Amino acid sequence: MKENIKPATGHLGVLVVGMGGAVATTLITGTLAARKGLTKAIGSITQLAKISVKSGEEKAIKELVPLADLHDIVFGGWDIFPDNAYEAAKVAEVLKEKDLDGVKDELERILPMPAAFDHNWAKRLNGTHIKQAATRWELMEQLREDIRAFKQANGCDRAVVLWAASTEIYIPLSAEHQSLAALEKAMKENNTTAVSPSMCYAYAALQEGCPFVMGAPNLCVDTPAMWELSKQTGVPISGKDFKSGQTLMKTVLAPMFKTRMLGVSGWFSTNILGNRDGEVLDDPDNFKTKEVSKLSVIDNIFEPEKYPDLYKDVYHKVRINYYPPRKDNKEAWDNIDLFGWMGYPMEIKVNFLCRDSILAAPIALDLVLFSDLALRAGMSGIQTWLSFFCKSPMHDFDHQPVHDLFTQWRMVKQTIRELAGEEAPSYLD
């Protein structure tokens, strides 16, 4: 199939929603530094990972398939504050000044466009750099024009739109999301309770032929309306919610318990986080969106309906606490109550002192590059093989999401092999 993939020629625009946030500025700075040889792209599958092929040889993913080169990426995006990427990165306080100064000139040239923002969807934020529009439809049209203007101004052949902004409030799937016609009607009628700002970005991106990646747990591209649009436009969608810290650990530990047929009676998870995302999640309506995303993992992996003796009554609790002194250095605690032979209890405690944006930035880069690859390979709609990177893997109503990290990794490898015209080795991989 490799010969059917369009080459990654010209510039690739990466338009980030929430361009001034911690994840976005860390992604941008690290990418610029890596292409100047100032750092390595640690954590990036596209830049560092190798997979086995039928001959038994291991080959780098970027040698097997034509990914966009880091030197061809042009960053831009939208933010509710007007700071350039350098100023925003300093405010985020994720990276040291010496790391920012290595690419300072480039960062200072990256300026955000006014954002599509609605305070009701993120009540803890008060944006000053925002668009004005009479309807959601008009707001979406302004975003489409932004995409076109950015591509033209920067000589971009293609673009990917990445949501790295804060989590929106929780809303259930409703009639407005069940078809493309219903969504468009709601946008034109300015139904601001059913149509979120993120839906405007996603709609605009897909109509402009740009893959859309949802990096938060918002209800957005995981709706029949967006599935219909992505198929109609022939554009890939993926997400949602970057699988960076605590949930990453769950998708590793839970498969281990299940593989060994060890029972679990309870799993308590709590986090402290102090960045802008933590502040937004301090609002119960926004936390609900994240909670649903985090809680979905355990049941899917354990399959309690198949193994009731082991997992029928797992008590799973998730908490996130806003703690400003911690800033971006999130701390995650997990207490797992498990049982083994003859029902005897045991405990595992995990204390992950992670750096939220340091873990999320390479995920964002990989999702962007793989989404661009999928577009050039003619792969439209839901990209289930990118579940590896997401807390809440995209899927339609006819399929169940896969949460087991190792099963997800096999899906990535198999897709890459198929795209490269390769086969897996004869042994289990």
DSSP 284-326: HHHHHHHHHHHHHHHHHHH-TTT-HHHHTT-EEEEEEEE-GGG
Q: What is the mean pLDDT of residues 239-268?
A: 94
For 146, phi then psi, to 5°, come to: -60, -45
Number of Cβ atoms within 10 Å of the Cβ of 172: 7
- Amino acid 164: pLDDT: 97
Q: What tokens appear for 389 in the block?
A: 């990177």
- The tokens for 346 are 């045991």
Give the lowest-confidence range in 60-74, 217-231, 246-260, 390-404: 390-404
pTM of this structure: 0.94
pLDDT band at 427 (very low <50, low <70, confident <90, very high): low
Per-residue pLDDT, 428: 57
CB 386 within 8 A of CB 364: no
Residue count (the chain) = 429
According to the model, what pLDDT value does residue 1 have?
A: 59
What pLDDT is stored for residue 398 in this prediction? Answer: 82
HSE-CB of 315 using CA atoms within 13 angstroms? 5
At 334, is the pLDDT very low, low, confident or very high (cuts 50, 70, 90)? very high
C-alpha to C-alpha distance for 51 and 414, rounded to whole angstroms: 10
DSSP state of 208: T
Q: How far apart are CA 239 and CA 383, in angstroms?
A: 8
CA atoms within 13 A on the CB side of 354: 20
pLDDT band at 63 (very low <50, low <70, confident <90, very high): very high
Percent of the chain predicted with pLDDT > 90: 82
CB hemisphere CA count around 16 (13 angstroms): 28
Compute the average pLDDT of residues 106-133: 96
Residue 179 has pLDDT above 60, yes or no: yes
pLDDT of residue 414: 95
Question: pLDDT tens digits, residue range 235-251?
Answer: 999 989 999 888 999 99
Which residues are CB-contacts of 196 (< 8 A; sequence separation ≥ 6)? Answer: 118, 121, 168, 171, 218, 219, 220
Helices (H), strands (E): how many in the chain? 16, 13
Architecture of domain 2-242+357-420: 3-Layer(aba) Sandwich (3.40)
Split at pLDDT 50, 70, 90, the class of 299 is confident
Residue predicted with more confidence, 128 or 292:
128
Q: How confident is the model at residue 330 (pLDDT cuts 50, 70, 90)?
A: confident
Distance, in Å, from the CA atom of 129 to the CA atom of 420, rounded to the nearest integer, reads 44
Average pLDDT over every residue of 352-379:
96
Q: Residue 9 has what pLDDT? A: 95
Domain residue extents for the chain: 2-242+357-420, 246-353
Q: How confident is the model over 309-326, as pLDDT tens digits?
A: 999 999 999 998 888 998
Is the per-residue pLDDT at 228 higher than 90?
yes
Fold observed for domain 246-353: Dihydrodipicolinate Reductase; domain 2 (3.30.360)
Confidence of residue 296 (pLDDT cuts 50, 70, 90): confident
Sign of CA dihedral 215, 216, 217, 220: negative
pLDDT of residue 326: 85
Average pLDDT, the chain: 94
Q: What is the DSSP string of 339-401?
A: E-GGG-EEEEEEEEE--HHHHHHHHHHHHHHHHHHHHHTT--EE-GGGGGGBSS----TTSPP
Query: Which range, of 54-58, 167-171, 257-261, 422-426, averages the lowest pLDDT?
Result: 422-426
pLDDT of residue 236: 98
Q: Which amino acid is at 29?
A: T
- Percent with pLDDT over 70 in the chain: 98
